[in-house]
Amino acid sequence: MTETLQRAIGAPLDRIEGGEKVAGEATYAYEYEAGGAVYVVGVAATIAKGRVVSVDESSVPDALAVIWHGNAPKLEQVEDGELALFQSPEVAYRSQWVAAVIAETYAAAQEAERALRIEYDADEHDVVLKEDHPRLYTPEKVNPSFPSDTDEGDFDGAFAAAEVSVDATYRTPAEHNNPMEPHATIAVWDGDGVTLYDSNQGVGPVRKAVASAFGIDPSKVRVIAPHVGGGFGSKGTPRPNVILATMAAKIVGRPAKVAVTRQQMFAVTGYRTPTIQRVRLGATRAGELIAIAHDVVEQTSTVTEFAEQTAVPTRMMYASPNRRTSHRLVKLDVPTPSWMRAPGECPGMFALESALDELARELGLDPIDLRIRNEPEIDPESGNRFSTRNLVGCLREGAERFGWKEAPRRDGRILVGTGVASSTYPARRQPSQATARAERDGSFVVQIAAADIGTGARTALTQIAADTLEVGVERVRVEIGDTRFPQAMIAGGSMGTSSWGAAVVKACRMLDARLEEELPVEVHADTADEAAGIEREPLASHGFGAQFVEVHVDADTGEVRIPRALGVFATGRIMNAKTARSQFIGGMTMGISMALLEESRMEPRFGDYLNHDLASYHVAVNADVPRIDVHWLDEVDEHVNPMGAKGIGEIGIVGTAAAVANAVFDATGVRVRDLPITPAKLVDRL
């Protein structure tokens, strides 16, 4: 590798667009100029189940138009039922958009939304998830395509014969994605084509959904999203705001602007399903796992099925000859759950890693030692070799850096304890395309329809291109976030940079071979064949990590504080030390927030989440996370992509909540199995 290569990939390069963002010059979806634009506000249902009988359009005389199922244009093909706006009188959940108002100003649209009179015919609703719900069923698959159930060996016999066992149920509440930039869309029709300025995690799926819904050729739909203010999974698929803006603009013949309010985001943009998880572990006195079972109950909506893959990480995490996992769903009168940072691994590893800690206590073993004793040589689920697996290295490195393990102690009224948990997340890639062009002035332009949702993707791709071309980063310009660029994988599943970077590497290598030709020269690369990996050995590819947490618990109030946390990760080659550190810290912060604060509270009588704003839905702030340290092991995994990288966007949140819960038990002797760990759950038990 040349000196240029060593300086680019891995270097703590500042974000390419950082200056624009700090100066307020980066344009987000709702900020684009659209002459003569109208404002559109979705109207939320005030019943949890039933149907719309009538809409009194005369109640909003200042509105340019009111859209509801009685007058809405019929949509063509809509795969996601949440996008079938105003196609039926049925109300599937409270706060579902059942109408919309269009006005000259946003204030007028808000006033019209409040004044619009809608008559409903309400039915009895069911919104409470229960482990014994009579309508539980087994989905055909869990996200994205895993089998719902697995059963290897003889779990029942092995568990009954185990010398030591744990049988515990863990619960996680509904949690809502709250990116800084709410979902927003501006739609501008020009003849039979439409341009959408939209906040999303991938312009391609938005184009596909709009083209399908409105029956137009995808080439007639352009989606633009160069800057996105966060997503955490909620913008991974198109949301109703996209359809509403497109429909409204078509109806009035003018550009239409839709911004989902913070309160509405708790209904129409997805969330993490609540889970009820039973984990059973059986082991020998020496700490060898001989039986593992992980059974999950979670919810979906009556609109569209979404099954979170909560028990999937248990299938490959630790060695055991007898393993069983299952997922059960119930369709409730609630919004459709969806992706939220590390779907599956995040809630699933909370339960598994908490149960491992409980087993370690029963055995009198150090929790790290128990994990190391059950380290598998091959993937227990597939039987394949791991491309790389450095969990043990993360645990040992973290133990040394953290100072593991101090005995729990009391300092006045403060109870002090420490906890540990493992992290994991799959390392994958999907086909993507990219173009690379050499200009006459010595610069290079790379184009790819990738998305930078605040992760630093644009910067990492610049570094990848510069290294491949063996030039300085100042000579490379990467353009993203536009359907006019080659199609690419969405920013999701921690495989954005892995997928996009592979396409950029291929394009830049192709371009490098043609630099002797007359400039400008442009090449196009497609990684479909490489991503398929048909001729490669099938390998199990995952990132791993270890989370260490110290907690201080006030014995009088039950308040939990976290003075320090450490994450150590093995996630392949790091593309940018600065943005990677930011991603790890962000994930761990979100995990602490999950452990101590986040909870969407369902009110059964009304069938809605009560705390649908940031005043009452609490997230971690600076005072909650005073010091987080991160470290990563030197690792290169070229089995996943030519950069040797694995995804890092989600692994930071995985395991953090379990480490907090384990530390709370260490400090107090109180095991909290239902998140979040609030003072009310501790104070009477201390």
Question: SS3 of 667, please?
Answer: helix
Which DSSP string corresponds to 523-577?
EEEE-HHHHHTTTSPP-B-EEEEEEEEEEEEETTT--EEEEEEEEEEE-BS-SBH
Contact 223/198 with Cβ under 8 angstroms?
Answer: yes
Give the Cα separation of 522 and 501 in Å (integer): 18
Give the Cα separation of 551 and 555 in Å (integer): 12
Query: Two tokens at 606?
Result: 């009304």
Which DSSP string corresponds to 216-232?
--GGGEEEE-S-----T
- Residue 519 CA to its chain's centroid (Å): 42
Q: Between the CA of residue 197 and those of 201, 305, 372, what are the distances in Å?
A: 13, 28, 50
Q: Which residue has the tokens 């199922």?
A: 69
Question: SS3 of 309, please?
Answer: coil
Q: Which residue has the tokens 């329809």?
A: 449
Residue type, 626: P
Nearest 10 degrees: CA dihedral of 146, 148, 151, 156?
150
Q: Which of 113, 298, 353, 650 is catalytic?
A: 650
- Among residues 305, 246, 253, 266, the alpha carbon closest in space to that of 64 is found at 253
Contact 152/210 with Cβ under 8 angstroms?
Answer: no
Backbone angles phi, psi at 568, to 5 degrees: -120, 130
Contact 328/305 with Cβ under 8 angstroms?
Answer: no
Residues 6+ apart with CB under 8 A from 126: 332, 333
Which DSSP string corresponds to 57-77?
GGG-TT-SEEEETTTPPPP--
Query: Two tokens at 545?
Result: 């990590």
Give the Cα separation of 253 and 307 in Å (integer): 39
Which DSSP string corresponds to 583-636?
HHHHHHHHHHHHHHT--BPEETTTTEES--STTTS----GGG-S-EEEEE----
Contact 296/279 with Cβ under 8 angstroms?
Answer: no
Has 650 been annotated as catalytic? yes
Taken as a whole, the chain contains a residue count of 686
Give the Cα separation of 515 and 440 in Å (integer): 11
Question: SS3 of 6, please?
Answer: helix
Residue type, 286: A
Q: How many CB atoms lie within 10 A of CB 501?
A: 29
- Among residues 519, 501, 518, 521, the alpha carbon closest in space to that of 510 is found at 521
HEC sequence for 472-517: CHHHEEEECCECCCCCCCCCCCCCHHHHHHHHHHHHHHHHHCCCCC
Query: Two tokens at 368?
Result: 């790290």
Q: Which residue has the tokens 């800690």?
A: 357
Q: Between the CA of residue 650 and those of 71, 199, 587, what are the distances in Å?
A: 43, 20, 6
DSSP-assigned beta bridge partners for residue 122 = 50
Residue type, 65: A
Which DSSP string corresponds to 150-167?
EEES-HHHHHHH-SEEEE
Q: Which residues are catalytic?
A: 650
